[in-house]
Structure 1
């Protein structure tokens, strides 16, 4: 039987007040909550003469709040061979993520009705190494399903303004969006969307698209097929409709203008847009394909500046896996391959590796803020997640490259990253331990939020 209390003491604890500092955190494992924080490093004496307390002396290692990834496609049920709750959440905790918010597609059925949500929750129960929350889906004609979904706990809604790639989750028109917004305008709920809009492309933009004869193995062929104006048009529409969106640098002007007007706008970007650039993507490697595309180095620099300036609020994975066959790796077919980058569990190391470069200058505190506090706020989970504070869940990471997601194909393979998660705790219970193979002897304790 485990002890009731867990004390973690370290010379580098990242508290909400700012930079890492000496501190000792006590978690009541019965409630799963942080019950006290002492602003001192106690070492092995933290639990002296207290038999009901387990002590972890992290020494110089950093202790961080558990991360919250609010953009993950776990795909179960229906496409569990792409990813599932068991494998996806194991990958998450290996990278310090203790809460995942699951997207309403690409599972079958999608999370567009209460019935479908309950199917997904039933399948997830008992499989999750992290806590799990759910986004609902907006598709044509499901306006009347939105309020019941909110009542059943979804954290907001996802919609597409281009074809999603799966037939059971069709895209919506501007008229659809207005109808959906009217249905939920009196309720507090996020509405998300993929920021590309094809319908408003001008004739000149259409003529600039590659012909069918263009070489599908060239990254520039795929890049030309998704012009940046698609993102700008979509974000301009979204800001008019008081929605939330993300991604590329060309839309930053519209985003800044919307925020200056005081519109309720949450802006996210992804690890791949901050870690990769089109300039260095080799041809014939569809593992780099995602929607919107990874653009050039200038675009990446602008995204980092916007992130540091506060124009972009948070960073997520958009982990969108598929079976290897759908990536068309052998053919090198970027145009025909499924668009999505596998990254679940790698984000903290990716951002720290890139962000610590002299021309970026990001601090660990900022990175964790983007990946934990801000994402928790975005999903309405900040009352229980996102920070190391008394009364919040005792979710934390002891940090000093492995891939635990199901289909082990990633655009990051071969990169040398800095920073390794040693242990992950969920409500005071150990759920990942790198020193013993990751999961040996451990069991999933994730809850459905």
Structure 2
């Protein structure tokens, strides 16, 4: 009789193409065997997943854990615990809002050493593109960054400047030569700065005014520009956090032309609207801003049809004090990395009949392939890492503040009820979340 480290029996496996009942055997952190029935095998640990769905460990390719330098906003320890509780086993940490930002080798080494010590789950680090660091890009690539991130409009952080067009073009030429990927925050700096000044001068604190100061056409303009640069430089591009399918149209056309581009949206654009921003205030402020309900509905259509490649939380936490006061002055970022799967299940699977396979694709297969991790991550398959999430689709719960593992316990989703609860999360066959608590706690 074969002896494995862990055997998970009787679960419904959520794969990228189908949902099937099967048993999983794990040895030395890898999936050793998948079969309809492994009752003839023995495991040092046996897990009965009857009545549960097993998702691949999710990949959140867009988080801001802010350490070093701003760990009081969020740290890698608390952030990674929140991810484990939400079924995420791999994250990609953005180069800001840590201080120093990850724009050179020294900064990479500093953050990487902290992450090695503190992260409960697997991780990769993004490198940054800012004016003046072109000579650092190759070093960062050699360090193992998952890709590079640039802002086409102000980042809100003084030590991470927006990349002007000349910087973007030069960086894209360099990144293309290195075989890397450039992720871009695509909003027009000119449009957002000018409209933002008008709104500020009028002191218009309404949610609609804020949303209109960063309009959808600002995203469209920036995306069209970066796609033209991508065509000229042959650089692979990943457009992050789009808020509207109108932004998606030029991306789809670019793909048809053979431009190497992928696109992400976020759970807040799939579950919150500008009306929610009016009610909730700064806790729901982000950039690009929340849109109308029709935009939410159209984005869901794009996710379900496969036109959205990935979903990232864009977890952008801050001190609680930074989310108080006026809407225009408050920090623009939503804390949400713990609840991404809950939102996809409630708003997508339950309310819109979205196939579970879409979750496996957008938060598993697709990011793993896009960022070169498909040999180890992103799907439930033999020889890959045993990163697994056991979920009870039928268990409902209301999110409470005390449920959150964030350093600053704030979220626009508190008080909402979700169907689909994470019961256990395994990282390479090791239990890191079990029945409402992280392991080790």
What are the residue-to-residue correspondences of 1:5-154 with 2, within 5 Å?
5-19=5-19, 21-29=20-28, 32-40=29-37, 42=38, 45=39, 47=41, 50=42, 53-154=44-145
Of the structure 1 ranges 58-67 and 180-189, higher mean CA displacement relative to structure 2 is found in 180-189
Change (3 A) 1:56 1:254: same
Q: Is the 8 A contact 1:46 1:55 kept in 2?
A: no
1:240: Cα distance to partner?
Answer: 1.0
5+ long unaligned stretches in structure 2: 231-236, 393-398
1:16: Cα distance to partner?
Answer: 4.1
What are the residue-to-residue correspondences of 1:21-420 with 2, within 5 Å?
21-29=20-28, 32-40=29-37, 42=38, 45=39, 47=41, 50=42, 53-199=44-190, 206=195, 209-216=198-205, 218-242=206-230, 243-246=237-240, 247-249=242-244, 250-283=246-279, 285-328=281-324, 331=325, 333-357=326-350, 360-400=352-392, 401=399, 402-420=403-421
TM-score, scaled to structure 2: 0.91
Q: Is the 8 A contact 1:112 1:142 kept in 2?
A: yes
Q: Is the 8 A contact 2:315 2:335 kept in 1?
A: yes
Aligned pairs, number:
422
Q: Counterparts of 1:425 and 1:262 in 2: how far apart (Å)?
A: 38
Aligned counterpart, 2:437:
438
Aligned counterpart, 1:446:
none
Higher strand share: 2
1:309: Cα distance to partner?
Answer: 2.1
Q: Counterparts of 1:117 and 1:433 in 2: how far apart (Å)?
A: 32
Q: Is the 8 A contact 1:10 1:57 kept in 2?
A: yes
Q: Is the 8 A contact 1:93 1:129 kept in 2?
A: yes
1:185: Cα distance to partner?
Answer: 2.1
Q: Counterparts of 2:238 and 2:11 in 1: how far apart (Å)?
A: 38
Of the structure 1 ranges 221-230 and 334-343, higher mean CA displacement relative to structure 2 is found in 221-230
1:357: Cα distance to partner?
Answer: 4.5
Is 1:424 aligned to 2:425, yes or no?
A: yes
Change (3 A) 1:207 1:17: closer
Q: Is the 8 A contact 2:84 2:432 kept in 1?
A: yes
Q: Considering only aligned residues, what root-mean-square deviation do their CA atoms show, in Å?
A: 2.0
Deviations 1:204-233 (A, max 9, x none): x849942523332x2122112212221011
Q: Is the 8 A contact 1:16 1:389 kept in 2?
A: no
1:281: Cα distance to partner?
Answer: 3.2
1:265: Cα distance to partner?
Answer: 0.7
Q: Counterparts of 2:95 and 2:40 in 1: how far apart (Å)?
A: 44
Q: Counterparts of 1:190 and 1:172 in 2: how far apart (Å)?
A: 16
Q: Is the 8 A contact 1:208 1:224 kept in 2?
A: no
TM-score, scaled to structure 1: 0.90
SS of corresponding position for 1:406:
coil
Aligned counterpart, 1:447:
none
Q: Is the 8 A contact 1:106 1:166 kept in 2?
A: yes
Change (3 A) 1:210 1:152: same
Q: Counterparts of 2:16 and 2:174 in 1: how far apart (Å)?
A: 37
1:17: Cα distance to partner?
Answer: 4.1
Q: Is the 8 A contact 2:55 2:390 kept in 1?
A: yes
Q: Is the 8 A contact 2:86 2:337 kept in 1?
A: yes
Q: Counterparts of 1:39 and 1:327 in 2: how far apart (Å)?
A: 50
1:260: Cα distance to partner?
Answer: 1.5
Q: Counterparts of 1:225 and 1:200 in 2: how far apart (Å)?
A: 8
Deviations 1:366-414 (A, max 9, x none): 1222112112223221111100111110000111143111111111111
Q: Is the 8 A contact 1:238 1:245 kept in 2?
A: no
Q: Counterparts of 1:412 and 1:112 in 2: how far apart (Å)?
A: 33
